[in-house]
Structure 1
Amino acid sequence: MYSVKIIVIGAGPIGSLLSLHLTEKNYEVVVLEEHKAPGLPRHCAGVISYETLRLYGFNTSSSTVLNKLNGAYIVFPGGKILHVYREGHVAYVVDRAKFDEKLATYSEEKGTVFFYSTEAKKLHFLGSKIVVETNRENFSCDKVFVCEGLSRRITRQLTEVRQKPLIGLNVDVEACFSFPKDHVYVFFSKKISDRLFGWIIPLGNNLVRIGTASTAYTDKYLEALINKACSAGILDKVKILEKTGGLINVDGPLKHFVFLKDRAVLVGDSAGQTKPTTGGGLYYGGLGAIIAAKSPTGFIYEKKWWQKCGKDIKSMLFLRRVLDSLDDRDLEKIIKRVNLEEISALLSSKGMFDTQSKTIIELVKYFSKKPLAVLHVLTTLAKSLLF
């Protein structure tokens, strides 16, 4: 049996970042990864903020960056478009396979040992040690950090998980597109996603990433998005090159992250540390990795993460509940009762990519001046709560 001080399950970006920080603190760390290499399979849309890029130790000139973004066209069901723009780059499109690979390499260079094609199957106590059973051999350790993502095989052995993740699909295509390469398109419609939205992201040259996420039948939603984009003249001559998919959590974090008397700790997607508005997990999961590495106990890590992230997460959960309650007709009625230019100015000046509570508060203040729109939202929310 292989014995080590700390085991990290998962060589995704959260697991690699966590192992890097632990190894830098002179802990003996082993990472177990079920796939043959980091970054596999690729399933993330790859859009992150400057703050997130820096959180992982990358700069804007990194070879992982495919494109730089400073604007978005947000399309509503009735066809109205909200344009959000800010001088300077707001977000970056990264090559997630290369991003993950570089993080794992950085950690390995510091002394972390990686075992690939090694799937963690079960945890149990053996005396004072935690044993991680895998498809290859067993590993014993003093502490295990579970960064397995939304597969949650180990997580479900530790706690009840009621959340049902969305199924996300991306297709990378070669296409002609009629909008600036530093902008993305976002589509809000229940015909394109029943709980999230659709996206079109330029990757550089003539390459575009098109994607959506839903509770089921994601292929049909993706087809509807491509057809809509082509019929609207946004895309033309579309040639599909690659299709990828994965799971997305928009239901917030689990109540607790620490189990087995502080010997098993959840970090990242496995803990639900993702944005309820978009499903993105690199920022809040990355914060989780750094806080966990610095904290003397898992309980302190859990408390500190909630202290730092709780306000934003709760605000985004509120907005998620509102968005889930609105169908296309509701959303169209609300959009007709507001001034999109005013909202554009608000989001362009005060919108935040990751820490969204301040943005949501500004939106609430704005809508409070639009009583008919507020009444419609409250009525719809009440119906969703009752039925």
Structure 2
Amino acid sequence: MRKEWKYIVVGGGLCGLMVAYRLRGETLIIERKKRIGEPNHCGGVVSVDYERKLELGYVNTRKQNIYGFAIHTINGKKIEIETPKPCCIVIDRPSLDREIFRRISKDSEKTLEHGYVKEVVQDRGEVKIVLRDGETLRCERAIVGEGAQQVIRRKMGKGRLSAVPGVHMIVETKELDEHFNYLFLDERLSAHRLSYIISMGEDLYKIGVVDKGNIRKVVEKIAERYVRNYRLVGFEGGLVWLHGPLRMNFGRVYFVGDAAGHTKPTTGGGIVIGGIMSTQLAKNLNGEAVDKNEIRKIHNEILIMKFIRRILNKIDDYTLEKIVLNNKEELKKLLMEEYDWHGTALLHFTTKAVRKGKLATFLLEALKGIFKTR
């Protein structure tokens, strides 16, 4: 393996690959796994126009169009919010990663090596990448896309172990509507209100829970209660970051994706947010013009979502049920506006509620829930 590079990208996940794809100059990608796109613990739910946002052109990764959400409440009610056209899509995330890597492979200046990075150290105007086997590589700048575990970040004294475990149980069944995703407003399933079913098409579904504890048992409980007849395909899991943005760079070391907190605190999703920020970082390193408005917009969106996450953690299930029931049409329009930017969409939701005289009801129900749980 060559010892010196202009750039070294640690981690061959989506955001690491997005940076490597855009960078100009000799670039080494170091990935732990033997195959790009593994493990796949991503839900894969994105906006219909995600390819445009990531500046990728056409990518054949779409698996399922989603026309709404079926929300199951703690009282046993099922509230369906259906949209006239797809409000979001579910993609095959491993296929997206592999397509980006396929494009990278055409560039003779870029190389992938498999290995485990033990440490990243800045030393006299360069960066040392220390591998587990003791080998040391050097580069001008390092980009770390290590995911939510933040091992390297914590070794640098710049991170903390605060990510939440998540599990997907993949099942095959004909019991569910493939054009809907399913949400469960029940803190008993997930304290973060992140229990759901995602349609993958072809009668396949991901039953997911993000929380601490024995969450594999919880997804099995959801399957038994809401799906019943199914064939188990398998399990997948990983860590989810819900705490908002982190500092992106320290000297010559840059962090992207989950390692930079570029995920939605509301849902944990980070394909679009992480992908856009990775592209902007690569442009900056290349000396190209950076879209500062886009960066500011994303940063503000994440902060708004973080605020929403705090509110959600305070409101009880019964209050949330009332809010959903009283604002079905507004929520339907919210889904149609912009799936990726939950923060802005919620602001639009409240603005429209003001015009219709419903904001007072919404805020009253929310405040009741917050004070009730104190």
> Which TM-score applies when normalising by structure 1?
0.86
Structure 2 unaligned blocks of 5 or more: none
| Aligned pairs (5 A) from 1:313-328 | 313-328=302-317
Q: What corresponds to 1:363 in structure 2?
A: 349
How far apart are 1:173 and its partner, in Å?
Answer: 1.0
How far apart are 1:141 and its partner, in Å?
Answer: 0.2
1:39 aligns with 2:57: no
Say what the alpha-carbon RMSD is for the aligned residues: 2.6
1:276 aligns with 2:265: yes
Counterparts in 2 of 1:334 and 1:89: CA distance versus 1, 3 Å: closer
Residue among 225, 231, 238 paired with 2:230: 238
**Superimposed CA distance per residue, residues 207-265 of structure 1 (whole angstroms, 9 cap, x where no aligned partner):** 22211111332123212321331xxxxx34211111000111111111x2111x2x001
> What secondary structure sits across from 2:106 in the alignment?
helix
> What secondary structure sits across from 2:28 in the alignment?
strand
Q: What corresponds to 1:232 in structure 2?
A: none
Counterparts in 2 of 1:327 and 1:216: CA distance versus 1, 3 Å: farther
1:70 aligns with 2:71: no
1:6 touches 1:144 (CA, 8 Å); kept in 2? yes
Q: What corresponds to 2:297 in structure 1?
A: 308
How far apart are 1:317 and its partner, in Å?
Answer: 1.3
Residue among 257, 278, 301 paired with 1:289: 278
2:305 touches 2:343 (CA, 8 Å); kept in 1? yes
Matches of 1:317 and 1:139 in 2, distance apart? 37
Counterparts in 2 of 1:211 and 1:142: CA distance versus 1, 3 Å: same
1:353 aligns with 2:316: no
Matches of 2:130 and 2:330 in 1, distance apart? 53
Counterparts in 2 of 1:342 and 1:97: CA distance versus 1, 3 Å: closer
> What secondary structure sits across from 1:4 in the alignment?
strand
The residue type equivalent to 1:148 in the other structure is: E
Matches of 2:123 and 2:243 in 1, distance apart? 35
Matches of 1:49 and 1:373 in 2, distance apart? 26
Matches of 1:163 and 1:333 in 2, distance apart? 35
> What secondary structure sits across from 1:307 in the alignment?
helix
Counterparts in 2 of 1:302 and 1:359: CA distance versus 1, 3 Å: closer
Q: What corresponds to 1:14 in structure 2?
A: 15
Q: What corresponds to 2:140 in structure 1?
A: 142
The residue type equivalent to 1:15 in the other structure is: G
Q: What corresponds to 2:56 in structure 1?
A: 57
| Residue range with higher mean Cα deviation, 40-49 or 266-275 | 40-49
1:100 aligns with 2:94: no
Q: What corresponds to 1:177 in structure 2?
A: 175
Q: What corresponds to 2:211 in structure 1?
A: 214
| Residue range with higher mean Cα deviation, 66-75 or 9-18 | 66-75
Residue among 235, 244, 258 paired with 1:252: 244
2:164 touches 2:212 (CA, 8 Å); kept in 1? yes
Counterparts in 2 of 1:360 and 1:306: CA distance versus 1, 3 Å: same
| Residue range with higher mean Cα deviation, 237-246 or 218-227 | 218-227
Matches of 1:383 and 1:253 in 2, distance apart? 30
Matches of 2:368 and 2:187 in 1, distance apart? 19
Residue among 152, 155, 165 paired with 2:150: 152
Counterparts in 2 of 1:196 and 1:303: CA distance versus 1, 3 Å: farther
Matches of 2:276 and 2:120 in 1, distance apart? 25
> What secondary structure sits across from 2:151 in the alignment?
coil
| Residue range with higher mean Cα deviation, 129-138 or 360-369 | 360-369
1:68 touches 1:89 (CA, 8 Å); kept in 2? yes
Residue among 102, 105, 113 paired with 1:115: 113
Matches of 1:48 and 1:376 in 2, distance apart? 30
Matches of 1:18 and 1:42 in 2, distance apart? 20
Equivalent pairs counted in the alignment come to 366
1:85 touches 1:348 (CA, 8 Å); kept in 2? no
1:56 touches 1:286 (CA, 8 Å); kept in 2? no
User: Percent identity at matched positions?
Assistant: 27
Matches of 1:382 and 1:302 in 2, distance apart? 41
Matches of 2:27 and 2:185 in 1, distance apart? 43
Counterparts in 2 of 1:164 and 1:264: CA distance versus 1, 3 Å: same
Q: What corresponds to 2:330 in structure 1?
A: 343
